[in-house]
Every structure is written in C-alpha cells, then in structure tokens.
Chain A
Amino acid sequence: MIKLESKVPEGNLAEKWTNHKFSMKLVNPSNKRKFEIIIVGSGLAGASAAATLGELGYKVKVFTYHDSSRRAHSIAAQGGINAAKNYQNDGDSVHRLFYDTIKGGDFRGREANTWRLAEVSNNIIDQCVAQGVPFAREYGGTLANRSFGGAQVSRTFYARGETGQQLLLGAYSSLNRQVKLGNVTLFPRREMLDLVVVDGQAKGIITRNLLSGEMERHMGQAVILASGGYSNVFFLSTNAMNSNSTAAWRAHKRGAAFANPCYTQIHPTCLPAHGDYQSKLVLMSESLRNDGRIWVSKKAGDMRAAKDIPEEERDYYLERKYPAFGNLVPRDVASRNAKYVCDEGRGVKGTRAVYLDFADAFKRVGKNAIQEKYGNLFDMYQNITGKNPYEVPMRIYPAPHYTMGGLWVDYHLMSNIPGLFVLGEANFSDHGANRLGASALMQGLADGYFIIPYTLGNYLTTEKPEKVDTDRSEFKEAEENVKESVNKILAVNGNEPVDEIHKRLGHVLIDKVGMSRSAKGLNEAIETIRGLRDEFWSNVKITGKADELNQNLERAGRVADFLELGELMAVDALNRNESCGGHFREEYQTEEGEALRDDENYSYVAAWEYKKAGEWELNKEPLQFEYVKLSTRSYK
C-alpha cells in the first residue's frame, strides 16, 4: 500500500496557493548552487523548469533524447494556450477557467491543482510576451484571442498554427541564457532508462548515450521528470514519432504510482488513416472548429461527393445534439459522436471520416480571413492529402492525442517517491478525465515557470537530501538492471520487427481501450496484450549492437514498456465501472448515450502500484470537491 497524501493546503480555494507559497520553506540564495537537480525532458515543462531553476541559481542538468532541446514534442502544438486574462471582456475570470477545466475533466481532477493552474495562467502569457513570443495581435496592438472547445469565452492566445513552437522556442531561449551563464548543463541524445533511489529518495538516473550506447550515471538531489505523454502506446497517434513512456514507466517500476492510466484523449480533428504503412496521424488544430462545421450525410453508405449532398440531407450532428456548444463541444464528446456516425455507416463515402466544412465561413468572412487564421493548417492538409480544402471540405477522424493519466503527484507535483517530481503531460494532476484544448501548454508552463520553483525549494529545505556518490551500490544495481534489459532484448533474435508488434498492440488498444470500452472487450484486450508481450520477448528481431547508435534498439526498449503500460490501461479501464470524460464504458451511459458517472463509487484517483509484470495494486486518492457542485456535464 502506498500512502497517497495529496498535501492540498487548508483554506479557501482561491487563497490556497498564495498562502501556501508563503508557508513553504525557502532555500537561501547562496545555498541554491549547492543543489544539483536533474531534469528529464526539455519540452515546455522541462525547459521552463530548467530555465527558472537556473535563474534561481540551482545547478541544473537537463537530459533529452533529442539532438537539441528545441525539438521536444511540444514544438508541434498548434492551436494555442489558455489564460484567464479576460482581455476580450467577455466574462472570463480565474474562476471561470477553473470551472471550465474541472467540468471539462468531468469532475475527476483535483480541485486545488486545477484552481492553481487557472490562477497562474495569466503570468504565463506575461512571461512569454516578455520573452519575445510573437503572439497574434489585433490592429490596435493588443493580444488577439480565439475560442477552443469546452469554453464559451475567447481565452486562447496563439501564434498562427504554431503556438507550441513559439512557446517552446521562448522557453528554449530562457534555457539557453542559463546555459550561457553556466547554471544549466545540457545532455542531449541521452535516454533515461532507470531511476536511482537511495534510502527512499530519488537521487539519480541511468542514461544511455544514444550515440555510443554507453551507460552513464548521474546524481541529483532531486529528479524532475518532464518526459511527456504516452499516446504512442497506440502506435498511431498525433504525437511525435519518438514520444514514449519509458522514463515514467521505469520510475513506476521503481515505486512511483501511475494514476488514471485509462484517461486518454482521442482528438476529434485529425486526418483519417489511409494505409497500413502509415507512421502517424496528423492533427488538424481544434481551433478549426471555430469556423468549420462538422457534418455527415443523413443516409448510411452515401457515396455522393460532398457538393452533391444537398443541405437538407446533411446532418450537422454536433450542432443538432448540442445546440449550446455546437461544434465546440469538448473533445471526448466530439470524438465519440464521430465514431457513432461512422459506426452507423454515415461516414464520408462509407469510410471512417466526417466532413469539416468551411463553406459557410468563406461566405461569412471570406477566404482571405480564413487563410489568415489557419493558412498553414490548410496548406498542411493539402500537402498530406493532395486535396484542396478551399474547394472541398476537409475529412477528419479522431486520433489518440493526449494522455491525462500519468505518474501520481501531490500538490507539490512530487510523486510518492520523495525527491521525484513530475511535470507537464507526464503527471496526472490537472485535467481529470478529459483535457480541454489549449490547456496542456498552459499546464506545462505553469508547472515549470511558476510551481516547481516553489515546491522544489520546500523539499530541499525540509528533507535536506544529501549528495551521494555514483559509485554507490544503488547506482551500480540500476546500471546493471538497464544493461541486462538491453542485452535481453538483443538476445531474443527472433523474427518479428519491433514496429509490427507495436502496431498490433496499437490495434488492440484503439479497438478495445479507445473511444468506447466494455468489460468484455477490456478482458480480451488484457489477454491479447499479455500474449503480445510474450511474443515480444520470444520473437522480436533487433539488429545491431548495444554499444553503438542503434535506433532499432531504442524503439524496442520503448515498446517493451508500452506492452506493460497497455495492459495497465485496460486494467484501469476495467476497474472504473463508470463513464467519465475520455473514459467511456458502454455499460454506463445515459439514455441519450452520454457518459454516466458514478460519483458515489468512483470519485477517486486510481493510483496503481507496480508489483511485478502484469500485477498491480490499486490505491485510491479520494477526490473532495469543496467548491464545485458535481453536476452532469451538459453541453446541450
């Protein structure tokens, strides 16, 4: 049993963070440089944390498997970042952003964390502008906003369809400043393969140098994981090719609880899959739903071209079913409904795709205005599909995109292993069972710029973690452990390439642990995944050696972890006998087919403790809602 203490401070929700910042202990400025801190990841969460901790004077070491810290997956975020600035004077506030986020997450997030996220959101925008992030502007020179799903206000800041790039390059610039000042050391092309725990505290990591294959030991008085999400467990997702769960998973196997693994987000507006050689699914930013209208034919198996289907034979199903939010319902609702209409055979020409149509927007504001807003997304669509979206409506279909689940953390963003902090998409904390658009960038930067600088200091002063030598037995044991697993993979020498096993895992997961789940399907999935895992360890074929640049080996290690995580996702989904947010259990729905929560029995965070391969123990953190009234999420 793990002791899960959320450490949410006492007091009024709106004052918790302010009061807590005051009550937390500080590290004396001259002592900060005596602390060595490891950060795994240089995405928005990792880069912002590294820059800020560097500014404070800590000795920071940043690890990334990329060749440069600028290439983290955050770079690909398109649509925007939320903040409660209320620059539009349309009724936004910290309270409203908080409420939208907790409701969007179907009341399965931790109230105090979500409030804090909304509270610091405004500082993020100030910070980024000061860094020189060229956000979109109005003619008067003030910042522009757009709206995203699950919100009725315009609070999303953006830079064309490249918001993630601009925010990450902003964080990267602050990080580079600290590199120059000597406070941060970068370790690119390193993959963390194990966590080192000494006397119960996280004290280091083992990395593999991806160029030479050499194993390296690194010591830190605290270890911060900002290693991103695990959507690539599905093989096909919108995540970058190399995104993976290994850092989080290896920490999990060292004792860190994994929370709500079944909460995954399938994004409604992606390009449909087109062939089995396909390597990834491309996201079309949700911001397109501001101006695009989603529809299918009213008839099943309608083979007519879009232009030949008259207006009255089209079903704008989101507008019909959810008049208040229309095309801007939250992602889980939009995705599930796309699945339903396609299950009914009403997808585009009988395929698994629906239309996203801009014809009305062209009429309303003109093609130029639409081009100005989404030009690069339209170009991207045309480039990939070979079709011109200014002439024919886009075809879209949901794809795995974001994982709300992740390593369990308390209010300080610390896992149950003292000294192991988890930031950004890698933790579970702020989005409940479904994340609203434009709030992941917000969370990553909130964690890195504004939260960890306080909570880390508090840990260092209260727990006083000592430096340890990397010659210690714990480092040696961890390094041996990693070497052994690498050698074990290479020794299999079977017949099946690793991607083929990964694709089969992806098929099972999307089919049975995807947009719609049932007890029967989940049990089948668990069986199949176990079988795949055995197959991997008896039949995978990896070329090359351990002590060289070996991408095949890198992928195999990640897939080995996915084969364990995939099972836990199914186990978690099976345990949760309710529907909430992105987790939809067919057995638990309202008459109208909407998610049916069971607050009495499932208002908890499921934090799984690793026992051995395929065996976990469930720990529950009850969710207490003091300020919001749990209600049925309605977007009608």
Chain B
Amino acid sequence: MSEQTLNLTLKIWRQETPSAKGYFEEFKVAISPDASILEVLDILNNDLEKEGKRPVAFESDCREGICGTCGIVINGHPHGPIPKQATCQLHMRNFQDGETIYLEPFRAKAFPIIKDLIIDRSAFDKIQQAGAFISFNAGSAPDANEIPIPKEVASLALDAAECIGCGACVATCKNSSAMLFVGAKVSQFALLPQGQPERYQRVQEMVAVMDEAGFGSCTNTYACEAECPKGISVTNIARMNRDYLVSKMTTKS
C-alpha cells in the first residue's frame, strides 16, 4: 500500500449545542492516502483527547456505507465529491497533498444540528412510522413461493429498498425536500404484490407526515439522485407522485 503522506488542512464545523453559534475550526493533519475520511477524524480526535481538548463530535457505525449513520458535507457535497459513496467510504487518495477540506453537518430545517457534525434525523423515522409497512402479524404469512414475482420487479423493488436513510437527498436539495427518501419506500411497496392492499393509503399517510416535518417540496432538479450514495433513482419520485394523485382520486380523506 501507499507510502506517501498527504498534508491536509481541515476546516471543521464546531457547534457545542443545538442553540450555540457554530464556526469553522482549522486543523492540520498528515495522513496516508489509504485512510478513510472518518479515520482522519479518528486520528484527529485521538490527538485532541491526548491534549485534553474537546474531540470533534461525529457519528458513524458500520463504516461500510450501509447503516446510513455517517453523513458529512465535504467540500459542499453531502458524502463528498465521489458519486455513490457514503462518507465512511471516502478515501483520502481522492484528495491532493496540500488541499483544504471543509467538513460540515447535513443542513436542513427538519434535521437540527445536535453537536458539531451530528444531526437529528428522527423526522425520517416519523415518516416511516406513518405507513411504511405491510400490515400482517407474524405467523400468518403464506409460503414464500406462493406468489411469484418477476425477477425484474424484485430487482426494481430492491433498487428502491436500498435507501440507507442517511438524508443526503435532503441535505443537497435547495428546498430540503425528502421526496427521494419517501418515494423510494413508497415505490418498494408499490412494486411488490404484497404492498398492493395498502398502496394508496400508505402514500397519503407518509406524505402527510413528511409535509408536517418541515421538508420542502420537489422542484425536479434531481440533485438528490446525483448525491445519493445508493444512486436511488428519481423515477421513484414520479411513481410516488402518480400514486399520490391516484390515491386522492380513489380514496376518501
């Protein structure tokens, strides 16, 4: 693996509490190009801890791009400049020696900042709780092969279901819209036979909570798809819009 070292300047958003005023603090680091950006923060924090200084608060868990916990705006891009990657997957070989890197939290009205780079994404859970499920009780399911599902349909449903719930779509949208996040879940169930009975009720309930939570509207700029670490397609938004329209025509409320 690579022997060379990158000397970088980090400008990191510091904010002690949700109501405190934030600011950028500058740090110099020397790091292997094989390290990930979160490992850079680990090293920095280790050094800060040694000096008795307050480490940078940031969240991560799986470090494999699937849990959706991490999420930093890096040089203006949620999850950094490389497409289809979560923050934890960004390796330093993508930067040049001497570069300055800005690290900020995902920003949106519906995602208040908790501390430094940590945000509150509980609004996402609330949307899911509104209707992102199929109602049946454990033990009552028919044999799994009873309803054949065409391979392409299962594959499309999985494309949508891959959403990791990180919020990059919201952070990148100038309106802070959550339509990609919600559209992905609505689509997964709308595509599958199991999702049909509650299809139209589901979309209405999820959209209602989304609107309440303070997310903005979609104006079709597609920045969300471009920044999504999973490459979730905006066709999911179209599918949701169509279902929403149908639901308004076919159900009460």
Which residues in A have some Cβ–Cβ distance to B below 8 Å?
A: 48, 51-52, 55, 66-71, 73, 75-76, 85, 87, 123, 125-132, 134-143, 159-160, 162, 164-166, 169, 172-174, 176-177, 179-180, 186, 188, 211, 240-242, 274-275, 277-280, 282-283, 380, 383-384, 386, 449-450, 453, 495-500, 541-544, 549, 551-552
Contact = CB atoms under 8 A, between A and B. Distances in A.
Per CB-CB distance, the 6 closest pairs between chain A and chain B, nearest first, are A141-B148, A130-B141, A173-B133, A126-B141, A134-B157, A134-B158
Contacts of B157: 132, 134
Contact of A544 (B54, B154, B188): B54
Given A162-B66, A176-B133, A386-B93, A130 B142 contact: yes
Contacts of A499: 42, 46
Nearest to B61: A240
Interface string B38-57: 11001101101110111101
B138 A67 contact: no
B64 A68 contact: no
A174 B133 contact: yes
Contact of A497 (B46, B143, B147): B46
B42 A123 contact: no
A73 B46 contact: no
A351 to B, nearest CB: 9
B194 A123 contact: no
B137 interface: yes
20 contacts: A48-B138, A67-B121, A70-B125, A73-B67, A75-B66, A126-B144, A127-B141, A129-B141, A130-B140, A130-B141, A131-B133, A131-B136, A132-B161, A132-B195, A134-B157, A140-B148, A165-B66, A176-B133, A211-B114, A543-B53
Nearest to A83: B144
Given A134-B157, A380-B64, A129 B46 contact: no
A542 B55 CA distance: 10
A549 B114 contact: yes
B40 to A, nearest CB: 8
A75 B54 contact: no
Interface in B66-111: 66-69, 85, 89, 91, 93
B61 A141 contact: no
Nearest to B43: A277
B89 A134 contact: no
Nearest to A87: B145
Contacts of A188: 122, 125
A75 to B, nearest CB: 5
B10 interface: no
A177 B150 contact: no
Given A497-B50, A543-B53, A179 B158 contact: no
Contacts of A130: 134, 136, 140-142, 194
A35 to B, nearest CB: 18
A138 B55 contact: no
Interface string B119-131: 0111011001111
Contacts of B253: none
Contacts of B128: 70, 172-173, 176
Contacts of B124: 68
B229 to A, nearest CB: 11
A68 B121 contact: yes
A73 B62 contact: yes
B25 interface: no
A173 B130 CA distance: 10
A249 to B, nearest CB: 20
A379 B89 CA distance: 11
Nearest to A75: B67
Given A126-B141, A551-B57, A137 B149 contact: yes
A499 B118 CA distance: 21
Nearest to A448: B138
B111 to A, nearest CB: 11
Given A76-B62, A131-B194, A169-B161, A275 B134 contact: no
B144 A70 contact: no
Q: Which of B118, B133, B189 has the most CB of A within 10 A?
A: B133
B35 interface: yes
B1 A278 contact: no
A500 B141 CA distance: 49
A336 to B, nearest CB: 25
Contact of A141 (B63, B132, B139, B149): B149
Interface of B: 1, 31-32, 34-36, 38-39, 42-43, 45-46, 48-50, 52-55, 57, 59-69, 85, 89, 91, 93, 114-115, 118, 120-122, 124-125, 128-145, 147-151, 154-155, 157-158, 161-162, 164-165, 188-189, 192, 194-195
A125 B121 CA distance: 31
Contacts of A169: 161
A134 B39 contact: no
A240 B62 contact: yes
Contacts of A173: 128, 132-134
B192 A67 contact: no
B196 to A, nearest CB: 10
Contact of B49 (A85, A132, A449, A552): A552
A629 B174 CA distance: 66
Contacts of A278: 35, 39
Contact of B144 (A52, A143, A176, A549): A143
A13 to B, nearest CB: 23
A496 B52 CA distance: 10
A551 B55 contact: yes
Nearest to B116: A549
Nearest to B85: A383
A75 B138 contact: no
Contact of B142 (A126, A136, A277, A549): A126
Nearest to B189: A132
Contact of A66 (B61, B135, B138): B61
B234 to A, nearest CB: 19
Contact of A142 (B45, B49, B140, B145): B145
Contact of A132 (B35, B36, B192): B192
B136 A541 contact: no
Contact of A125 (B46, B85, B144): B144
Contacts of B136: 130-131
A241 B62 CA distance: 6
Nearest to B143: A126
A180 B134 CA distance: 13
A51 B138 CA distance: 8
Nearest to B148: A141
B125 A180 contact: no
Contacts of A52: 137-138
Nearest to B50: A497
Contact of A450 (B138, B145, B150): B138
Q: Which of B35, B39, B66, B155 has the most CB of A within 10 A?
A: B66
Contacts of A383: 85, 89, 91
Contacts of B120: 67
Contact of B55 (A186, A450, A543): A543
Contacts of B142: 126, 130
B149 to A, nearest CB: 5
A279 B34 contact: no
Nearest to B69: A71
A244 to B, nearest CB: 11
A602 B102 CA distance: 58
